[in-house]
């Protein structure tokens, strides 16, 4: 018995042709873009230099605006006054933390380079030979190879020009962004509602309601992430600093600061932050705590952060499968560099919000269509 | 029947504020000690004197706060929410830093450093249990429950 082959309907054929045409058009655009590569680079660089301060102002506004709103709710107004209070407090906090923290960091770094760095070099070049895990013979061969090829010297020599070149390409945009950011933030926060209203007026009235709803959901998700992450970074950094000091680890302040800063990168941040104190504890043994104790402290801190603090602060809004987070870090990291790594989680969460929103919209439309059919019947 | 009633009772902002305020006051001294410990204030000041004056200020703040709570009691009792998530997050942070401060206090008092981990674990376990109970009963927030 043979099954009769179903003929392709006109509708399916039309759809296939439509998708093929779209794919061809995309390929043609890509081809054209490649032909004018320099022009595109020039345009994207211009967009990037304008967008980075604006995007940063938007992200900081998501943290500051609830505070301004809170003050206004308490009767502290007009907007200029509440904004001035929040600004003065924020600037004061930033200056105070720099004033108190910078001398400690500088003194710890100075201490490290004058006391421990020569000891580490001695350990690697002399003491490590006797305890090298693969035997003294292999150690001698590795050292001979390094000496013959002058690999470290060449790397150090190439490091300085690269560093100087990167200062020019990074420092200038960074300084511009830092100078522009407070001004942009101030104007954005003063006219927060008006700017949002203007942006909304650009959207065609047919889609206005849906876009506004999606925008509000995205704002909520990204805002929740930023506020929660900031709180977590502060808390975990402080806890790590205190615990490191309690166990007698030298340079506890710098190590604690690293834990706080790298906490912004899920999963990888933990490993990055744990490596320097563990290596230091290993090299400086038997003085100070052992590497196992430092490892244990890191594991316990991360366990408490991941299982108690993070679920409570972030809520279920940003709860995603670890594999999704790791893949998004790798993907957005390779696309946007360090910024992509830092913002991989909120970008992934935003994509999920958009996906869920369109799914919801589709279900809503189908339900409406069903209702219409039922009513007409 | 009584148990179900007790479980269903939703507490007002007043009860939550009372818990948060007294928890903050209990942990205020340890929390300040955490900052002094990180920035090594003990090298600049006599730490015993510092603790003494901080404890006195703590007592004064507690008295003023109790007065404010009593004055605003009626207004706060009228405010009721289904859950107090943000308030619980605040309590959690206060307790976490307070616990660390307690360990710092233990160190300042010159007790044996060898037992710091034991003291920390026992106190943390006790605190975790209290927070779990408080969260379930007053804040309507159960962080052991799966979503």
Per the structure, how many domains does chain A have? Answer: 1
Q: Does residue A74 lie within any of the structural domains?
A: yes
Residue B145 placed within a domain: no
**Parent domain of B126:** 2-137
- pLDDT tens column, A92-108: 988 888 888 888 888 88
Residue of A228, A238, A242 to mutate, testing the B interface (most B Cβ within 10 Å of its Cβ): A242
Strand partners, B12: B80
Question: Among all chains, which residue has been given the structure tokens 């900052």?
Answer: B35
Q: Chain A contacts of B143, Cβ < 8 Å?
A: 308, 311-312
- CA count, 13 A, side-chain hemisphere, B47: 20
- Tell me whether residue A39 is in a domain: no
Q: Does residue B142 lie in a domain region?
A: no
Each residue's pLDDT tens digit, A284-293? 877 778 889 8
A351 in a structural domain: no
- Whether B15 maps to a domain, the answer reads yes
Does residue B82 lie within any of the structural domains?
A: yes
Taking a C-beta distance cutoff of 8 angstroms, is the pair B138, B16 a contact?
Answer: yes
Phi, psi of B80 (to 5 degrees): -135, 135
Under 8 Å between Cβ of A233 and A302: no
SS3 B12: strand
Distance of CA B11 to the CA centre of its chain: 18
The whole-angstrom separation of Cα A301 and Cα A239 is 8
The two tokens of residue A252 are 């506890």
Q: Is residue B42 part of a domain?
A: yes
B34/A312 touch (CB, cutoff 8 Å), yes or no: no
Look at chain B and report how many structural domains it folds into: 1
Is A313 inside any structural domain? Answer: no
Chain B hits for A316, CB-CB cut-off 8 Å, are: 147
Tell me which residue range forms the domain holding A78.
53-94+126-202
Q: Which pLDDT tens digit goes with each residue over A147-190? A: 888 777 788 788 777 877 777 777 777 888 888 888 888 888 88
Question: Which of B90, B124, B94, B71 has the alpha carbon at shortest distance from B24?
Answer: B94
At A2, give phi and psi (nearest 5°).
-110, 140
Q: Which of A264, A228, A226, A257 is nearest to A241 (CA)?
A: A257
Residue A58 lies in a domain: yes
Binding-site residues on chain B for chain A (CB distance < 8 A): 34, 37-39, 85, 88-89, 92-93, 96-97, 100, 103-104, 107, 116, 141, 143, 147
Place B25 in a pLDDT band, splitting at 50, 70 and 90: very high
In a domain, A188, yes or no: yes
Angle at A250 between CA A246 and CA A255, to 5 degrees: 85
Interface A–B counts its CB contacts (< 8 A) at 42
Q: How confident is the model at residue B26 (pLDDT cuts 50, 70, 90)?
A: very high
- Looking at the predicted structure, is the pLDDT value of residue A362 above 90? no
| Mutation for testing the B interface, residue in A70, A246, A301 having most B CBs under 10 Å | A246
A87 domain residue, yes or no: yes
* Contact at CB, A243 and B100, closer than 8 angstroms: yes
- Report yes or no on B26 lying in a domain: yes
């Amino acid at each position: 018995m043979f099954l009769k082959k179903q003929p392709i309907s006109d509708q399916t054929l039309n759809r296939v042709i439509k998708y093929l045409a779209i794919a061809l058009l995309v390929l043609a655009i890509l081809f054209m873009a490649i032909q004018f590569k320099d022009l595109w680079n020039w345009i994207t660089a211009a967009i990037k230099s304008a967008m980075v301060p604006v995007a940063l102002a938007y992200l900081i506004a998501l943290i500051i605006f609830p505070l301004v709103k809170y003050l206004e709710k308490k009767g502290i107004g007009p907007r200029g006054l509440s904004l001035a209070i929040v600004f003065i407090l924020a600037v004061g906090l930033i200056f105070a933390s720099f004033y108190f923290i910078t001398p400690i960091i500088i003194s710890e770094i100075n201490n490290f380079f004058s006391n421990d760095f020569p000891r580490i070099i001695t350990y690697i070049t002399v003491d490590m030979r006797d305890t090298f895990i693969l035997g003294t013979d292999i150690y001698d061969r590795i050292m001979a190879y390094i000496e013959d090829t002058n690999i470290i010297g060449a790397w150090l020599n190439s490091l300085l020009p690269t560093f100087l070149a990167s200062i020019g390409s990074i420092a200038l945009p960074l300084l511009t962004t830092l100078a522009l950011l407070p001004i942009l933030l101030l104007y954005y926060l003063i006219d927060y509602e008006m700017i949002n209203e203007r942006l909304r007026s650009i959207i065609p009235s047919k889609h206005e309601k849906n876009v506004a709803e999606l925008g509000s959901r995205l704002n909520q998700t990204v805002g929740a992430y930023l506020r929660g992450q900031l709180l977590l970074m502060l808390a975990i950094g402080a806890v790590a600093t205190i615990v490191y000091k309690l166990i007698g680890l030298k340079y506890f302040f710098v190590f604690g600061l690293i834990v706080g800063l790298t906490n912004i990168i899920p999963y990888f941040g933990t490993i990055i932050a744990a490596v320097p104190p563990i290596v230091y504890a290993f090299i400086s043994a038997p003085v100070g705590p052992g590497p196992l104790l430092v490892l244990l402290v890191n594991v316990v801190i991360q366990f408490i952060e991941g299982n108690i603090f993070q679920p409570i602060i972030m809520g279920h809004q940003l709860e995603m499968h670890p594999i999704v987070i790791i893949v998004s870090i790798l993907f957005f990291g390779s696309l946007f560099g360090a910024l992509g790594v830092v913002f991989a989680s909120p970008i992934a969460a935003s994509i999920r919000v958009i996906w869920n929103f369109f799914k919801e919209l589709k279900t809503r439309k189908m339900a409406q269509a069903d209702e219409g059919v039922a009513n007409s019947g | 029947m009584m148990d179900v009633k007790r479980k269903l009772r939703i507490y007002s902002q007043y009860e939550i504020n009372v818990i948060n305020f007294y928890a903050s006051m209990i942990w205020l001294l340890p929390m300040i000690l955490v900052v002094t410990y990180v920035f090594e204030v003990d090298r600049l000041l006599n730490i015993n004197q510092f603790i003494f004056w901080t404890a006195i200020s703590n007592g004064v703040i507690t008295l003023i706060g109790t007065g404010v709570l009593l004055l605003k009691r009626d207004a706060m009792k009228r405010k009721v929410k289904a859950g107090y998530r943000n308030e619980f997050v605040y309590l959690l942070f206060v307790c976490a830093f307070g616990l660390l401060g307690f360990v710092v206090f233990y160190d300042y008092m010159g007790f044996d450093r060898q037992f710091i981990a034991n003291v920390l674990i026992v106190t943390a376990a006790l605190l975790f249990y209290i927070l779990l109970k408080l969260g379930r009963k007053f804040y309507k927030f159960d962080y052991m429950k799966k979503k």
